[in-house]
Every structure is written in C-alpha cells, then in structure tokens.
Chains A and B, each alone.
Chain A
C-alpha cells in the first residue's frame, strides 16, 4: 500500500525483475497534441497472462496511451519507449503492432453491417488461393473456427446487421484471434452491451486468460474491474497514478474511485430532500407505439405511467425493452408510427406532433446517443447550446451574437464543462464534457419535464456526479425528471420510483426505497419466462 507513491514500473523492474514475466512495458510515454499534453511520463507494466484494467476519467489519456501502443500514433509522434516481449518496439502503423499480436478493439465497433461475419473478419486480410482470388470456402471455414473459440454459434455467412451488439462484440474478438492475438486491448467493450452479454464477455476473457492470453481492458464499469481484472492501473490527467494489484492492495470500487478522482468519494449519489408534489407533471395512458418500418410490430404496448412534479422516475429494463422508443414517441412523435394513447401535461390532455411542439410545451429529451442524435460535433459549444431554442437569442429571427455568447458562457459554467472556450468544437471534447454540453443545450430550453436517456453512459465518475447534482437541482425546482438507465444502481440511487419495462410492456413499478437489483431483475425475468 505504501508503495503507491513510487512509480509501479520501478518496483517491478527492481523488485520483481526475475519473478515477473513481463509482456509489455511502456516507459515514460509523453504525447503532445497542439496545445495539449495528453500523456505525461506514463508508465505501464503488463505481465503475461493477466487481465489488466486501465482506468481513469474521460480525457485522462487511456485511449491515447493505447493508440500509442498500437501504432495509430506512429513512433516519433511521442517520446518514451515501448518494450514488448523484451524488444524495443517502433510501430509505424496499426499493421506493425498487429503483426506482433497486439490487437485493439475499439469502443465503436468497426464492422460493416452489410457484409457477412466472415467477410468482416478477414477484411483487408483476405484469404486468397493460389490464383489470387478470395477463397470463400477457406474464409468461412477459418472464420467459423475462430467463432467457435469465442463461443459464437452462428454461420459465418450471417450478415453483421442481423446479429445483436453482444454477438458483434464477439465477432471483433474472433477477428482478433484470426490475427493470432497475444495481447488483446479492449476499449470499453461492454459499454453497448446489456448486463447479461457483458458478463458473458468478461467470463470469456477469464477463460482466455487460462490459455495464456493477456488482455488490457479499458472500462468505466468498476464492478467489471473487480470481477475480472488482476491489476488496475489508474491514469489521471495524463499521468499514471498507481497500479493496484488484486490480492495485494485493497481492490474495491471505493478504492479505485479514490485513485481516479484523487479524493475519496463517499457518496456516489448526491443526497436530495425528497419533496414530491401531488401535482402530476406528465402522464401517459395506454400509450402504444408501432415500429416505423414494420408497421404491424408493436414496440410499446399500452403503457401507462406518470411522473409528479419534484420527482425522479426511473425506467429500467434490458436493451430492446422499448424504453428509448417510448421516450422518443412522447417527445413529439420522433419515433414510431400509429401512436395511440393519451398524453397529459400538468393534468391537461395534449397532443404533440413534432419535437418542436414538445419543446414548446416544456419537454426535453436528452438522447442516449449524443454523437448521432444529440450534438453537431463539427460545430462549437455555443452553436450546440442554443440550437434547440435559437429563438430565445434572436430578435426578428436575427441572432443576437452577444446574447448567444453569454448564454453559452453561463451554461458552460453551470454545467461545469471543461473547455478552453465556448468556440471549441464539440467533437474535440471528452465524452463527459460532451454530455454536459448536451445537457446544457436542453437546460437552455427550460424544460418542466426532462427525459434523460442513459445520461451517464460512457462517462467518468466525476462527470456522473455533476450530472446527478443537476438532476437534483431540477427536481428541487419542482420539475419532473424521467431517467432511463441500464445501470440499476444508478436508478436505485437517484430515483423516487422505478418502472420496469420488458419487451415493450410495463412489467412493474417499485418504490426506490425498497428496490434492489434482484427485485428489478426478477420483474424482467418473470416477464420473459411467461
């Protein structure tokens, strides 16, 4: 424990030099971008056959470090040394590192939906016969061999678009195996998976470990680290803080959070006074939504729910339960066709035909997918902040630039967004800061009902806490909040009531005080078994 202050690589090299079988050692890596020092003297030591977690807040430099390792940032663009199997490595491209068996799987899956699993697996690396043509028999045969390795029982000729995200993640791993992987790097592998698929994936990693595969896993989900990792290296602000070893150091969520944020975080969910008012902010009755393309498919079936003023209501469920679809259909029918049912706002029955009307009525929907549905990444914070209610900074349709700037400044401050200026392109911000900009954009519309869809997906502990505080502030002002989340502890920690959805239906309602993960799960499972 006391050794935490000394760089861990140092200990390993001095103390355990002959004991440890080090597969990878990154020494004093420093990487600068114009104006920003992304990594400063980072050290990382990974032993053969271990699962090594890399953790840190968004923008701490984890992905940058892995890009240095994989050759995405070529040698020369950083300083420091990389030793792999004791050899000094100077990778110029991704191909160089892959040739050595270092394979990185990115957060956003790089699979092409309209190609088959087999085609995807050997993309750019096609199996050719002597004539130089693609040998399809060999391709699919090899593909299926690797698919079996990861427990994927599909035909290699299935199109990627026809399998779920969980299986797509497995295809990526099978693809890594086809490249003869020795060191597998996974960047947030479970961020788009439901709990069940996530656990399966982690079990798979543990299984591979027994066969000698080394993995580096980047994740924000601390319970996953506790579950599968042998060591955890914490990076903060571009520097390595410490490496925790399971069985040697205290290896708990609280301990890791302390390392990540630099101070102990006793309460992950800020406390608020529960002042639920009797008036109902928003209520739907018998809300039914059909799929926009397959008109006979019901996505949400006769759902009735309500949220009071000053109340946070959660909607729990697995992916594909119809939660996002429900929220978007309420938000001015921005999803689905043939929507029926009644919608009451402040007790008054209304009909919302477009997102614009929804916004005018004080409803805000903060999407789960900030990059595709939420923000315009090429534009500035200022541009994004005012977009949903541009008229508020306009006079006769002409934008008052001064007013707009001050609005954006204020919102950036209120959200605690870390940025050099409001003219910064949103695409250049870290995930947590992007989420704050997105939230700021919707706060600017002054909503009375705020629908948050996975508001903390893929963002770090500190940013999560900030967002929770904002939610609390909203309800304290008497607003209503609906929170959709796949993270059950988050719902239990933040909500007053929790609805459970599965397969397009409402399966139950729980008071958050008596809710546990098991209870929520049981609602889901019971429903599925029926």
Chain B
C-alpha cells in the first residue's frame, strides 16, 4: 500500500523532478542546438564531432579523478596541470632523447604520476595539511621539475609505437579500408544491443523481486534516446577516420570510475567522508586512507593525462598543461558535484565536461578568441552552480 501511494505521489511531481534531474543534460542539448545554428551547422561536421571527444578526452580523465577529491569535501587538486607537464616531459625526453623502450616509459610515467599523487596524498591524508595548500605547493614543485627535465625547451615525440598506443585510429581488417569505415557502426550496434539487453534484464529482475519499477515508457524511452545519440555519433565517426584509441582510453576510464563510485564499497566511502567525516570515522572507516587514495589516484590519472596530451599534441614544453586542472574542476561543478563534498556522479561530470567542450568548440569554429572563451566558460560555471544551489533551495532544502 505504502509503495502504491508513493508511486502516485512521484508521478504527480514527475515533470519538476525530471527537469531537476536532467537539468544539465537539457542545458547541454540547448547549448548544442544554439551553437549548431550559430556555426551554420558546422558544429555537427564529422571531424568536429570526432574531435570534440578527443580534444576533451584529457579533461574527462582528469575530471574522474578530481571528482573523487571533490567528493571528500569539496577539496580540489591544483597540481594536475603541473603533473601533466612533468610526466609528459619525462616521457618525451626518455623517448626522443634517450631512446627508451616505449612500454617501459609508459609504465614509468604512470608510476611517476602515482608517486606525485602519493606524495600529496600522504600530507593531505595522514598529516592533514589542507589540500589547497598542499596541491598549490605541488603545482609549483612539479611545474619546476617539469621545466628542469625539459631544460626549458620544447621536446617532440615522433615515435609511431608510442603515438599508436594513444592516438591511432582503429582499422579492423574486413570492415575498414581506406574508402569505407564500418567499425564504428558495428561497435555502435553492439553497444546498443547490450544497453537494451541490460534494460530488459534489469526490469525483469526488479519484477521478479517485486521492487518498484519505473514505467516501461520511461525506461525504454531513456534507453532508446541514449541509443539514438550513440548511433548518430558512431555514424559521424564512421564518416571521419573511425574510432581513435584515445577514445577507448577515455571511455574505459569513465566506465571504470563510474563503476567505482557507484558500485564498490570503497567508492561509497568517498561519499561518506564528504557527507560526515566524523560519523564515517566512527563507522570504522579509515578516513585518512580515503583522502590518501583520492589524491594518489588523482596523481595516477594526471600521469595518464600527461601521456595522452603528449601523444595528441606531439610535443611538450614548460607551459604544457597550464590551468588544465581548472577545466577538470569546472566540469565537476558544472556536472552537479557539491562544492561541499558528498555528492556528484561520473555521468554528471561527463555532461559537465561535454558542455564546456561544446562551448569551446562552438566558439572556436565561430572564430571567437580565447579571451571571450574564458569569459563564457566562467559565466557558465557560475550559472550552473547558481542554478544548482537555487533549485536545491526550492525543493525545500
């Protein structure tokens, strides 16, 4: 009886709840449509759409790590950009100047990123130095080391093995040849089949256990919409070079962190610490370790980003990665992460990063300069958070 009653109540408020829940998705769609017209449709060119994800890939990867830091209580990591410079610099120098083994270099660089994260995580988690200070220090220290390694020069990488690992486009024999690229479509269809299968099996499972269900229309509508967007995107990819390895890296990281934050015990501890650290501690959870892992992990992902950036740009210099951390932080907050910690999701962060990406790309296509892009990005960040705060207040918080 109680569940029935609740269901009715829910349905009454559906529209309002829907708007609040998907506000950022709606915002993304609106911005997308806006720039579509402002750029006379050029935004939707296959090359631009392919680049949208590739250019923002590093932001997505960083933002996943940043989300964990922010969850612990609105704490941010300012050193990410510098770690990217350091790791990218070390990789470039080892590969180009020293002729090091590529795989060994990659491992070493990931380890270097992790080490930077461990260094900061230790101070933040176990000695309780405020994250802002610790990572501000890290921002200077790692930038300095990066420039030392690079000897204040620009070092480029031409090694094809290295570039292939991160930036090549996948060619599946039989499906793809120089003229026609079918692999994105095949992958897209497979993924869509998988998504539909998951929806059906999850509904069946809920039915069997007698849990409350969304209406079939809502569930399948949502799934269909996602599938449609996915297929359209895959079609565009097939019009321009196909699937990049970079895309696989980014998707893998996003899926992994989505899984960690929503399904694992350890992921849940980040929310608990951000929600109420004292209560979490008294629940037998090592909160020091939670902080430590958040920042150690951020270092690791920054290391990966360093490699991704190096591969995409092809070179690294002392200014590489400057203010990249701000893009990651911005994506998290635009994507609905709380500035006080305790709430935020990977899917939200992805939407946030894409929103920033579309704005960047749209303005670039229109030929609007960097300076204005900064103004607009800042405005969007502020607006998103204002909207979040105000709508929370309205819903009786």
Name A's B-contacting residues (CB within 8 A). Answer: 33-35, 331-332, 334, 354-360, 365, 367, 372-379, 383, 387-391, 394, 397-399, 401-402, 405, 420-421, 441
CB nearest neighbor in B for A427: B397
User: How distant is the Cα of A379 from the Cα of B283 in the complex, in angstroms?
Assistant: 15
Are B263 and A376 within 8 A (Cβ)?
Answer: no
Q: Which of B209, B265, B278 has the most CB of A within 10 A?
A: B265
Are A397 and B342 within 8 A (Cβ)?
Answer: no
Are B266 and A397 within 8 A (Cβ)?
Answer: yes
5 pairs, CB–CB < 8 Å, chain A vs chain B: A35-B13, A334-B281, A376-B279, A394-B264, A398-B265
Quick one: which of B205, B279, B342 contacts A372, CB cutoff 8 A?
B279
CB nearest neighbor in A for B269: A390
Q: A397-B265, A420-B6, A421-B6 are in contact. Are A34 and B281 (CB under 8 A)?
A: no
Which residues of B from 1 to 44 have beta carbons under 8 Å from A? 2-3, 6, 9, 13
Asked if B271 CB lies within 8 Å of chain A CBs, one says yes
Are B268 and A377 within 8 A (Cβ)?
Answer: no
Are B280 and A387 within 8 A (Cβ)?
Answer: yes
- Closest chain-A Cβ to B357's Cβ sits at a distance in Å of 30
Asked if B238 CB lies within 8 Å of chain A CBs, one says no
Contact residues in B for A379 (Cβ distance below 8 Å): 271-272, 275, 342
Contact residues in B for A387 (Cβ distance below 8 Å): 268, 272, 280, 283, 285
Are B276 and A376 within 8 A (Cβ)?
Answer: yes
User: How distant is the Cα of A491 from the Cα of B155 in the complex, in angstroms?
Assistant: 75
Contact residues in A for B342 (Cβ distance below 8 Å): 376, 378-379
Asked if B282 CB lies within 8 Å of chain A CBs, one says yes
Asked if B178 CB lies within 8 Å of chain A CBs, one says no
Q: A377-B275, A387-B283, A388-B284 are in contact. Are A420 and B2 (CB under 8 A)?
A: yes
Contact residues in B for A355 (Cβ distance below 8 Å): 281-285
- Closest chain-B Cβ to A233's Cβ sits at a distance in Å of 27
- Closest chain-B Cβ to A412's Cβ sits at a distance in Å of 11
Asked if B396 CB lies within 8 Å of chain A CBs, one says yes
Name B's A-contacting residues (CB within 8 A). Answer: 2-3, 6, 9, 13, 205, 209, 211, 263-266, 268, 271-272, 275-276, 278-286, 342-343, 395-396
Are A358 and B275 within 8 A (Cβ)?
Answer: no
Are A365 and B282 within 8 A (Cβ)?
Answer: yes
20 more A-B residue pairs beyond the given contacts A372-B279, A376-B275, with a C-beta to C-beta distance below 8 A? A34-B395, A334-B281, A354-B284, A367-B282, A372-B278, A373-B279, A376-B271, A376-B272, A376-B276, A376-B280, A379-B271, A379-B272, A383-B268, A383-B272, A387-B280, A387-B283, A388-B284, A399-B265, A401-B263, A421-B6
Quick one: which of B268, B281, B343 contacts A399, CB cutoff 8 A?
B268
User: How distant is the Cα of A332 from the Cα of B283 in the complex, in angstroms?
Assistant: 11
User: How distant is the Cα of A177 from the Cα of B272 in the complex, in angstroms?
Assistant: 42
Are A359 and B284 within 8 A (Cβ)?
Answer: yes
A-B residue pairs, 9 tightest by C-beta: A376-B275, A356-B284, A388-B283, A359-B284, A355-B284, A390-B265, A376-B276, A387-B283, A394-B265
Contact residues in B for A388 (Cβ distance below 8 Å): 283-284
Are A399 and B284 within 8 A (Cβ)?
Answer: no
Contact residues in A for B278 (Cβ distance below 8 Å): 372-373
User: How distant is the Cα of A354 from the Cα of B343 in the complex, in angstroms?
Assistant: 27
User: How distant is the Cα of A470 from the Cα of B112 in the complex, in angstroms?
Assistant: 54
- Closest chain-A Cβ to B284's Cβ sits at a distance in Å of 4
Are B264 and A358 within 8 A (Cβ)?
Answer: no
Quick one: which of B6, B286, B343 contacts A356, CB cutoff 8 A?
B286
Contact residues in A for B6 (Cβ distance below 8 Å): 420-421
User: How distant is the Cα of A356 from the Cα of B395 in the complex, in angstroms?
Assistant: 37
User: How distant is the Cα of A69 from the Cα of B396 in the complex, in angstroms?
Assistant: 19
Quick one: which of B265, B275, B281 contacts A391, CB cutoff 8 A?
B265
Quick one: which of A35, A332, A357, A359 contacts B9, CB cutoff 8 A?
A35
CB nearest neighbor in B for A33: B396
User: How distant is the Cα of A367 from the Cα of B283 in the complex, in angstroms?
Assistant: 11
Are A34 and B13 within 8 A (Cβ)?
Answer: yes
User: How distant is the Cα of A355 from the Cα of B265 in the complex, in angstroms?
Assistant: 17
Are A390 and B275 within 8 A (Cβ)?
Answer: no
Contact residues in B for A34 (Cβ distance below 8 Å): 13, 395-396
User: How distant is the Cα of A365 from the Cα of B285 in the complex, in angstroms?
Assistant: 14
Are A399 and B263 within 8 A (Cβ)?
Answer: yes
Contact residues in A for B272 (Cβ distance below 8 Å): 376, 379, 383, 387
- Closest chain-B Cβ to A450's Cβ sits at a distance in Å of 14
CB nearest neighbor in A for B343: A378
User: How distant is the Cα of A35 from the Cα of B279 in the complex, in angstroms?
Assistant: 30
Contact residues in A for B268 (Cβ distance below 8 Å): 383, 387, 390, 399
User: How distant is the Cα of A365 from the Cα of B283 in the complex, in angstroms?
Assistant: 9
Contact residues in B for A356 (Cβ distance below 8 Å): 284-286
Are A354 and B264 within 8 A (Cβ)?
Answer: no
- Closest chain-B Cβ to A437's Cβ sits at a distance in Å of 12
- Closest chain-A Cβ to B372's Cβ sits at a distance in Å of 38
CB nearest neighbor in B for A328: B282
- Closest chain-A Cβ to B100's Cβ sits at a distance in Å of 35
- Closest chain-A Cβ to B367's Cβ sits at a distance in Å of 45
Are A374 and B286 within 8 A (Cβ)?
Answer: no
